[in-house]
Amino acid sequence: MCIFKSFKVYTINLESRYLLIQGVPAVGAMKELVARFALYGAIEQYNALDEYPAEDFTEVYLIKFMNLQSARTAKRKMDEQSFFGGLLHVCYAPEFETVEETRKKLQERKAYIARTTKNKDHYMTQKKLVTEHKNTKNFRQDFHSETSGFCAAAVNTSTGNSDPCFPYSCELPLCYFSSKCTCSSGEHVDRASNSSQDGRNHDETGEHCNHKDSLQKMQIKTLKNSVACPGAQKAITPSEAVDRFMPRTTQLQERKRRRQDDRKLGTFFETSTSSNEVVIGPLLPDIPKVDMHDDSLNTTADLIRKKLKEVISSVPEPPEDKLEDMHTSHSVKQRRRI
Amino acid sequence: MAQKPKVDPHVGRLGYLQALVTEFQETESEDAKEQVLANLANFAYDPSNYQYLRQLQVLDLFLDSLSEENETLVEFAIGGLCNLCSDKANKEHILQTGGVPLIINCLSSPNEETVLSAVTTIMYLSSPGSGSHPELTAMPVVQCMLRFSLSANTRLRNLAQIFLEDFCSPSQVAEARSWRAHSALGIPLPKTEAPQQP
């Protein structure tokens, strides 16, 4: 039977750029505290709240982040973390907002939703273009078969889904399906698939479940975190997948074209061997020849250069059918693929 | 839950949400209902879920739950609505299915979070300036917001102030103010009839 009576619904009203941090050991570690929180984003201001009720030997701080996203992440990461021997309790503090700050917060939320919905429409258009350009190159097909789950999903759904946290949709804990659920996996969505993690959360928060303190409510926050990490693309969406490959093809072709141009030009390259070399893969930049203005130094430099070339082109000769260009029939030095 | 390879992640999520909805409808445990509703309300925060939530009629589920006697369910339901109502399609649905009176009702709740969510929802459903839906800036609502703007509760005060400044015309506010001067304090937000004693 589910023993957790307090659940929480996160709305934009609850969230805030202001974070309240309780349980900070009174050891004069304000700077360290702020530095720790600053890992999650720029902090606009911070101060101790001397009048705020605090347990003995602890202090309460208020930290205001520059943006809501940083505050969200900081709260998620720093809540229940140990600090100088104490356990921090971090929560949002929207009551410290000014009217203007609240107004902006609501507007940004609205804008975010409008943007996300628009992106989904855009994503759908992109996806259609991409599937039309599908070619038959092996490596592309391989990639597509890997992501076929996502591709199929993208093709089958009527509206696109640009949610970056696709994997989590399949990793939500089974326990949700029963009324016996006791987990708070929402707070740790990136470990949501780990049932032992859920079990651990259960144990941790089990002590708190009867706590009347409203600040220690168990929180169920599910895929909200996908909102929380817009930049952290944890799954490759089909459009991204193809985008990644398209430039590469172009580059190979570009290099091929360049090599052909270079071969036509011929003598622009310093060593005699280079004109007979068949190049496979990306060209290393040619070592610029420097005249040392001294014969012995030049000899040494040439020796070194030659050695470098040998080392670089130490690839065994590949089968003939894989060579892109064959000007000469005698053995050619291959450049190693990078 | 083991990750099945080749499973369409959309089906995964949809199936999951469907399971939640089913549980909500079938369970007899109030605790389970609360938990499920909290889950759904939190899912409603993420726009990528909106198509599923609409498909599963979760919006209607939220609206229906506003009439529940269990105040926690009301709080979670209005929270869910608050989370998703600024999306255009969701907004249309709520407006068209007569959700506005139910939401306005929540302004009378003794539960702080319920009231806050209701105020925010009303703002997201309104368009600034001209009344997209006149009920949202009807006299009782504006009066209520005037009262809230004097509240000791900072969050409520801020939200009410934004509502009055951004979503009401000065004349509406002035009218509401003059009304208040003549009406007794402590009267709960009237439904449609004459004010009743609480």
Put simply, the answer to whether A170 touches B7 (Cβ < 8 Å) is: yes
CB contact under 8 A, A13 and B35: no
What integer is the mean pLDDT of A98-122?
89
pLDDT at residue B41, as a whole number: 96
The H or E element that residue B181 is part of is helix B170-182
Choose among A103, A113, A193: nearest Cβ to B86: A113
- Asked if A222's CB is within 8 angstroms of B39's CB, the reply is yes
Cβ separation B38–A220 shorter than 8 A: yes
Taking Cα atoms as reference points, which of A96, A91, A94 lies closest to residue A218?
A91
**Distance of CA B39 to CAs A120, A176, B73, B76, Å?**
24, 9, 12, 9
pLDDT at A139: 45
A225: closest chain B residue by CA: B46
Q: What is the dihedral of CA B166, B167, B173, B179, to 10 degrees?
A: -150
Among the partner residues A99, A116, A220, nearest to B161 by beta-carbon distance: A99
pLDDT tens per residue, range A66-88: 999 999 999 999 999 999 999 99
Cβ contact, residue pair B155, A223, below 8 Å: no
**Cβ-nearest to B6 among A106, A117, A148:** A148
Query: Does the distance separating the beta carbons of B12 and A102 come in below 8 Å?
Result: no
Express each pLDDT in A156-165 by its tens digit.
Answer: 333 434 333 3
Q: Could you say which of B3, B87, B89 has the minimum Cβ distance to residue A170?
A: B3
- For residue B13, which residues of chain A lie inside 8 Å, CB to CB? 169-170
Which residue has better confidence, B158 or A277? B158
Helix (H) or strand (E) holding A87: strand A86-87
Is A2–B76 a contact, with Cβ atoms under 8 angstroms apart?
A: no
Q: Which chain B residue has its CA at the smallest distance from A108's CA?
A: B86
Q: How confident is the model at residue A153 (pLDDT cuts 50, 70, 90)?
A: very low
In tens, the pLDDT along B125-167 reads 997 654 568 888 889 999 999 999 999 999 999 999 999 999 9
> What is the predicted pLDDT for the residue at A264?
65
Chain A hits for B161, Cβ within 8 Å: 99
Q: Is the pLDDT of residue A266 over 70?
A: no
Q: What dihedral angle (degrees, nearest 10) is formed by the CA atoms of B21, B27, B29, B30?
A: 40
Amino acid at B154: T
- Cβ distance A117 to B12 less than 8 Å, yes or no, reads no
Pick from A9, A117, A157: CB nearest B76? A9
Helices A238-265 and A148-156, packing angle to 10 deg: 120
Best of B3, B4, B6, B8 to disrupt the A interface by mutation (most A CBs within 10 Å)? B8
Find out whether A16 and A93 touch, Cβ atoms under 8 Å. yes
Looking at residue A294, the DSSP 8-state letter turns out to be S
A27-41, A318-332, B4-18: the lowest-pLDDT one: A318-332
For range A27-50, the mean pLDDT: 96
Residues of chain B found within 8 Å of residue A109, distances taken between Cβ atoms:
86
Task: Tell me if B19 and A177 make a contact (CB, 8 A cut-off).
Answer: yes
What domains are there in chain B, each with its CATH number?
11-182 (1.25.10.10)
Round the average pLDDT of chain A to a whole number and report it: 65
Residue A128: the pLDDT is: 55
